[in-house]
A and B are shown apart, each in its own frame.
Chain A
């Protein structure tokens, strides 16, 4: 039932958006960004799925017309996306730490020196 994957993926993306928009804690904002990323990763991996397919690991000799495997491209894309997601989390958390040092709060409503 691959449809559930798609529903779950978009649910996670929307949940991420919801968290970023409604939560006023910087750490929760970062969590929201991660959730959003996971949603996209799930979406990518679901796109490449074929029911009953094997892992796309073959040597040149083994590969025949009859080989039946899942699409390898989305898996490569997911890896890239996971790496980027980890970087985003690391970077945003380091910013959160520095923000907490200089503002003394994690509330987004108080971190608004730049406005207008």
Chain B
């Protein structure tokens, strides 16, 4: 094979995956000894990992032109073993715009997090092994979204679950890390078993493992075994996406894992689960025209949204709180995708992208706080904006984005999701979709409330004496956060470019299953539908940005001109006069509202609900396993009745 042949872009998908696994191998081959440089204990091995993730991203970016803009679907047979006798005998990679969209998200998050890791992981033991697992995790997820073979998807799921569990437990001395890893392993393993069972039931029916061929065979020949397989696969991939009822695992894992891994768990693992669910429902079984399937996805999505945002409100740990928000945002994605309209899918994918960006940014900011202060307990932090101004600004960008404040990216995608749900409600005259719109709006409000609380209790307010010597984080970490923040702002300011280059080609790929099948060389009579992405897209982000600047300026002037008292509160009086400002009516200069108490009244009114939820999330692994079994049973029953 000559060089020009090797550099043909059809090879890029496999290169993107292989370079990560090769990176893992090279890092492992470099041994486990720490180098002498205290700023980078893994030495050259860290740079190998960084180069591997960067190259992988580069290969995928080069695919944007042919796949996203050119509309080509790359079908790639490993070892040139293609179709024989009408059956796929080789292992295939198939990259359409949907795969590439998710692959780009994943590669971006992985690359940025690798930049961050180099300075973030300096205090840990066994840093070289961290990079081995890191590359394995990245390779597993990328392999999952680029694969065209359902068994291959299962193998990749196992690789990523293993790497993720190991990385969750990486800081074994962190409170609860081992426990979180074990719970994740048990329920994740049940999920993997469910996926394998589903795969094998499909193989028994259709004697092929190729996604495109299965997609050409399954619709029209659904029987009970296929439905059973669907239920197993759906539940299996749900555990990977951490949607309800698997959300407690995400919360545990995020809290214990290093922040750079939390970025991958929230931005990458959940996306791979969502990707697989889209592949299942839209491609493999093609059931999205059915009202029952739409109901299922919208219901699960809305439940994830609401349950997780309320769980987040009750949290006292920075990263755990972010973890619940992460799943809440995944709920938005699932709801939008479940609408089964072109606008809905486009909006959902847009939000998936934004979620990776802003959630990554927030986790990295939380990691920066942890790196400097050694804690993520909201009750003990405070006033860090004076010590870490850059981190504060970057965190605020992330917080504005997730709360859906214009002109940041969260607003653009949430706006599309509200419209998509409402549009479906008008089209179908179905009250359920209307309810989904309301839940999405309420969730967004609660998200904002929750981030007001976090910002107040971590970055503003009183600086505890023990953090007087806290410094700003190193440049490498700020660079990683800066990249994500810049992307958050850019994708918010130019939503039309994002939709036309990234999400609409991907949404078009979701709708044109026929092309997916025929690109692989199988027959398909499915037509390519005409899609309309029309919506009230007359937001003008630049104007919103100006408005935001004016508002901030006004606030600054007002606070400077007014009687702004710079006296800091003495520590010991904090406990007594905490609530007086709001409840006592007494003049209390020295009162500071603690982080967890900002919404005291709200939490008091909802105490029965919060108590109930707190007791429900008992932390016992048996309970979470029971939820998994119940979910599986319900899914099986539902599929049998509804399909």
Measured CB to CB, the residues of A under 8 A from B are 13, 16-17, 20-24, 26, 29, 33, 36-37, 40, 43-44, 47, 71, 73-74, 77, 80-81, 84, 87-88, 91-92, 95-96, 98-99, 102-103, 108-109, 111-116
Contact = CB atoms under 8 A, between A and B. Distances in A.
B112 interface: no
B622 A99 contact: no
Interface string B588-617: 000000000000000000000000011001
Among B166, B172, B314, B621, chain A packs the most CB atoms within 10 A around the CB of B621
B217 interface: no
B182 A99 contact: yes
Is the contact region of chain B dominated by helix, strand, or loop, or is it mixed? helix
Contacts of A36: 189-190, 193
Given A29-B621, A43-B200, A116-B614, A73 B209 contact: yes
B323 to A, nearest CB: 11
Contacts of B185: 88, 91-92, 95
A62 to B, nearest CB: 18
Given A99-B179, A108-B620, 9 more contacts: A21-B625, A36-B193, A43-B197, A73-B209, A80-B151, A112-B620, A114-B179, A114-B251, A114-B255
A40 to B, nearest CB: 5
Interface residues of B, number: 48
Contact of B165 (A91, A102, A109, A112): A91
A33 B187 CA distance: 10
Interface string B604-643: 0000000001100111111001100100000000000000
Given A95-B185, A113-B176, A13 B203 contact: no
Contacts of A13: 193, 197
Interface of B: 151, 155, 158, 162, 165-166, 169, 172, 175-176, 178-183, 185-186, 189-190, 192-193, 196-197, 200, 203-204, 207, 209, 251-252, 255-256, 311, 314-315, 320, 613-614, 617-622, 625-626, 629
Contacts, number: 118
A47 B202 CA distance: 10
B629 A21 contact: yes
Contacts of A20: 186, 190, 621-622, 625
17 contacts: A17-B190, A20-B625, A29-B622, A40-B196, A74-B200, A77-B203, A84-B155, A92-B182, A98-B178, A99-B178, A103-B179, A111-B179, A111-B182, A112-B619, A113-B619, A116-B314, A116-B613
B181 A95 contact: yes
